[in-house]
Structure 1
Amino acid sequence: MLRTARERAEEGDDIVIGVVESHGRADTEALCEGLSRIPLAPLQHHGRTFYEFDIDAALERKPTILLVDELAHRNIPGSRHPRRYQDIEELLDAGIDVWTTVNVQHLESLNDDVARITGIRMRETVPDALLERARDVSLVDLTPEELLERLRRGKVYIPEQARAAMEGYFNESNLNALRELAIQTMAERVDADVKVAMDASGRAGPWPVRPHLLVVVNGSEDDVSLVRAAHRMAERRLAVWRAVYVDKGIASPEQQLTVEKIFSLVTRLGGDSLRLQGHSQLGEVLNYARSINATTIMVGRDAKRRWWPWSRPLAQRLIAHTDVFDIVVVAQGNVKQSRRKRPPGWRLRPPQLLATSLAVMASLGIAHLLEPWLELANLSLVFLAAVLFSAIWAGTAMAMLSAVVGFLVFNFFFTEPRLTFAMVERGQLLTVVFFFW
């Protein structure tokens, strides 16, 4: 920060140091030379004199850019604000650009994560909203080895403090974890910047900046295998991933409980979860995927047979309505093997019977209307259409049932003698036999 400030000052920018915490480092003090400084304000506390950032002097000076170190600093009691980030908020509201620094462990949203990693809970935290307000954020990234070397050489703290830091908080495992948190935080910031740029340009997303996986759960026990598959894919692709459930307001208490269990699993596996409210699962999923700049949508394969076009599985509807996301369909659940297997097409269910019955009845009505204009052989094709419909929407068993019923109906209503199942002409018999075949 100081090197960049010196370069900008040499170019003529009005840059002033509000406060720099050098911690006794000579190199840091050397970088401050040549830059204007606002004197620190003395404050008395418990009989001792402390020197704090003078916000009143900064507001009066009102430079173009003000350097204020250590954003998470806690001010001495008696200061205008308890925390330094509150001083900076007032400066920003006054129209002064502020350059500041903060360590990742001081972000409020990461407080619990940092405590679990290091065993130490940070008392000085900074609201994430202030980071989101920043126009530019730069990551100063060092490997743990480089940072430990700087500590040994007294580049961060004076030697006595450096030794205590390396033996405690700043050990290698903690530094590796904190570095990962910093990189993830910056990646999320990049995603947010990309979203703003997309909205400003009016261009539809997603923009493939980094892999982002969205998995759609339905509130069933089979979602467990789907979530695990999403976790594995995210690990392989080094992707951010999250699970969503579209709540239409009709789910049973048991289903709601299952969703909570699935979301708990998502959290344990390192993903995020969100419940969306809406009447259209397809619309809510697509809108949310665009809003987070997702690149891949993962859904489970629907094992249920759909009878009507508007109730197609979510995977088919996603493929039909978008060409900007990768759609991944995952097999769900365990297939139980039985001793005696029957093809799925031979299972009779009430919806199948209803669809087949309606098809034959519709064929009978249409055939009556067309009888004055069609010959007997051509009239049988109307019933053949019912057989084809049953085969497509209800399976093999229903197609065979439709053929038998259609044969009987055709014989009873359209062949001589009518309203009987008798057949007296060879041509009629051949027509019906070929139809049934």
Structure 2
Amino acid sequence: MKNDYKRTTPEEALKKLTEEGRGSLKIYIGYAPGVGKTYAMLNDANGRLNKGEKIIIGYLESHQRKETESQIGNLEAVPRKSLEYNNVAMEEMDTEAIIGTKPDTVLIDELAHTNVPGSKNKKRYEDVEDILSQGINVVSTLNIQHLESLNDVIRQITGITVRETIPDKIIEKADEVVVIDIAPAALQSRLKEGYVYKNDNIARALKNFFRLGNLNALREIALRQTAEEVDEDLEEYRKEHGIKEHWHVIERVMVCISPSPTSKKLIRRGARIAKRFKCEWIVVNINSKRIFAPKITEKDAATLEGHFKLARQLGAEVVNLTGKSISKELAQFATEKYITQIIIGHSTRTKIETLLRGSTVTRLLKHTRDIEVHVIPNDLI
């Protein structure tokens, strides 16, 4: 009888013990200031407090918004500690006092905040890590523009370089991420009515960061980021429960190309479909290792490089694979990447060639029964 039991190493046991003793992290995320992250966090916290949970405020930044302050309710706050920097008295979150209070959960606003020089940690998220390591749950808030990987994108959209950023892994490791969403036009109305900033800042904000185009783009980024996190959680669930079927939650497009000149039109078709669904898309070429497969000439390589260049310009990820069976490699790659739609050109083989060598398209259809395959006729490409 085969024994599949695997002995746990001391390192694995320590890691498991550490993770089990760690508090959970919940993050309220929004696409701009004023969408209601802190309001929602406080509202939820009071409900939990009323149910008997020992929950406190570790750090709150209300920005003097009356509707936010009205949600504090019966929540108790840990006093901030005073620090001196350049002969100026400043306040910071008192991490040691929070840990000493031993709450079940602590609310910590503005996760991307940079601490006053001289603090134990440079960034607030590092203080949060210290608190989580003590088995205390943390609920925090974050705007999407503070993610490190989005820094260049945010600058291109808004023209503003965000100085305070956090590593993406903080979001990836969070136990729960809640998107607080509001229509951009409604957010602008809140801004005009003085709910977000003081009156002397409103006109400037509307002309800069809070332009409608900016807000629409930031909102889409925030929703996409959360969708990706949900997709990863879903995949983890499928693996844990042995579910092999692909659940089409988010569209992903794969374009299959070759050195053929017609591949450029396949790439353009893929770009249009990806734009329609606002989704990721990948352009894939397979270099066949079969004995009788035609060798790639210098002209073919140059043509292929031109295809790759076009694909990248249109926003695709480009992948060049090697394998004996083109259809199997494409099918395996599509499964691994959770592709939902495949675009491929109609076979150009003659009847005799198809009889002798088979059809890549036919084999691909056989291997990808749960994926939508678009076979584009030659006269259309």
- RMSD of aligned Cα (Å): 2.6
TM-score, with length taken from structure 2: 0.79
2:213 to 166, 170, 173: 173
Q: How does 1:279-298 map to 2 (within 5 A)?
A: 279-298=324-343
1:327 is matched with 373
Cα distance, 1:207 vs structure 2: 0.5
Counterpart-to-counterpart distance in 2, 1:12 and 1:60: 19
Structure 2: gaps of 5 or more residues = 1-40, 290-294
**Structure 1 residues 298 and 35 mapped into 2: Cα distance closer, same or farther (>3 Å)?**
same
Letter in 2 for 1:78: G
- Are the aligned partners of 1:222 and 1:333 in contact in 2 as well (CA < 8 Å)? no
2:312 to 267, 282, 298: 267
- Are the aligned partners of 2:327 and 2:361 in contact in 1 as well (CA < 8 Å)? no
Task: For residue 71 of structure 2, give the secondary structure of its aligned residue in structure 1.
Answer: helix
Bigger relative contact order, structure 1 or 2, given CA contacts below 8 A and separation 6+?
Answer: 2
Counterpart-to-counterpart distance in 2, 1:70 and 1:174: 21
1:151 is matched with 191
Q: How does 1:87-166 map to 2 (within 5 A)?
A: 87-166=127-206
Cα distance, 1:240 vs structure 2: 3.7
**Structure 1 residues 95 and 271 mapped into 2: Cα distance closer, same or farther (>3 Å)?**
farther
Q: How many residues align?
A: 335
Cα distance, 1:84 vs structure 2: 1.5
Counterpart-to-counterpart distance in 2, 1:264 and 1:62: 57
2:362 is matched with 316
Cα distance, 1:332 vs structure 2: 5.2
Cα distance, 1:264 vs structure 2: 3.4
Task: For residue 37 of structure 1, give the secondary structure of its aligned residue in structure 2.
Answer: coil
2:3 is matched with none
Letter in 2 for 1:283: K
Task: For residue 137 of structure 1, give the secondary structure of its aligned residue in structure 2.
Answer: strand
- Are the aligned partners of 1:215 and 1:244 in contact in 2 as well (CA < 8 Å)? yes
Cα distance, 1:282 vs structure 2: 3.2
Cα distance, 1:175 vs structure 2: 0.8
Q: Structure 1, residues 23-48: CA drift from partner, whole Å, max 9, x if none?
A: 12222222123112222121111111
Counterpart-to-counterpart distance in 2, 1:126 and 1:82: 11
Q: 288-297 vs 231-240, which deviates more?
A: 231-240
- 1:32 to 2:72 alignment: yes
Cα distance, 1:256 vs structure 2: 5.3
**Structure 1 residues 308 and 175 mapped into 2: Cα distance closer, same or farther (>3 Å)?**
closer
Letter in 1 for 2:342: I
Task: For residue 152 of structure 2, give the secondary structure of its aligned residue in structure 1.
Answer: helix
Letter in 2 for 1:320: K
- Are the aligned partners of 2:144 and 2:218 in contact in 1 as well (CA < 8 Å)? yes
- Are the aligned partners of 1:315 and 1:327 in contact in 2 as well (CA < 8 Å)? no
**Structure 1 residues 329 and 79 mapped into 2: Cα distance closer, same or farther (>3 Å)?**
same
Counterpart-to-counterpart distance in 1, 2:298 and 2:79: 64
**Structure 1 residues 263 and 88 mapped into 2: Cα distance closer, same or farther (>3 Å)?**
farther
Letter in 2 for 1:323: R
1:299 is matched with 344
Counterpart-to-counterpart distance in 2, 1:56 and 1:251: 65
- Are the aligned partners of 1:114 and 1:121 in contact in 2 as well (CA < 8 Å)? yes
- Are the aligned partners of 1:25 and 1:158 in contact in 2 as well (CA < 8 Å)? no
Which is higher, the Rg of structure 1 or of structure 2? 1
1:81 is matched with 121
- Are the aligned partners of 1:299 and 1:330 in contact in 2 as well (CA < 8 Å)? yes
- Are the aligned partners of 1:67 and 1:99 in contact in 2 as well (CA < 8 Å)? yes
1:388 is matched with none
Counterpart-to-counterpart distance in 1, 2:61 and 2:299: 57
**Structure 1 residues 53 and 265 mapped into 2: Cα distance closer, same or farther (>3 Å)?**
farther
- Are the aligned partners of 1:15 and 1:66 in contact in 2 as well (CA < 8 Å)? yes
1:51 is matched with 91
Cα distance, 1:133 vs structure 2: 0.8
Q: How does 1:162-241 map to 2 (within 5 A)?
A: 162-241=202-281
Identify the structure with the greater helix proportion.
Answer: 1
Letter in 1 for 2:317: D
2:12 is matched with none
Task: For residue 16 of structure 1, give the secondary structure of its aligned residue in structure 2.
Answer: strand
Counterpart-to-counterpart distance in 2, 1:210 and 1:321: 21
Task: For residue 101 of structure 1, give the secondary structure of its aligned residue in structure 2.
Answer: strand
Letter in 1 for 2:310: L
Q: Structure 1, residues 202-226: CA drift from partner, whole Å, max 9, x if none?
A: 1113112233222222344432111
Counterpart-to-counterpart distance in 2, 1:261 and 1:281: 21
TM-score, with length taken from structure 1: 0.70
Structure 1: gaps of 5 or more residues = 336-437
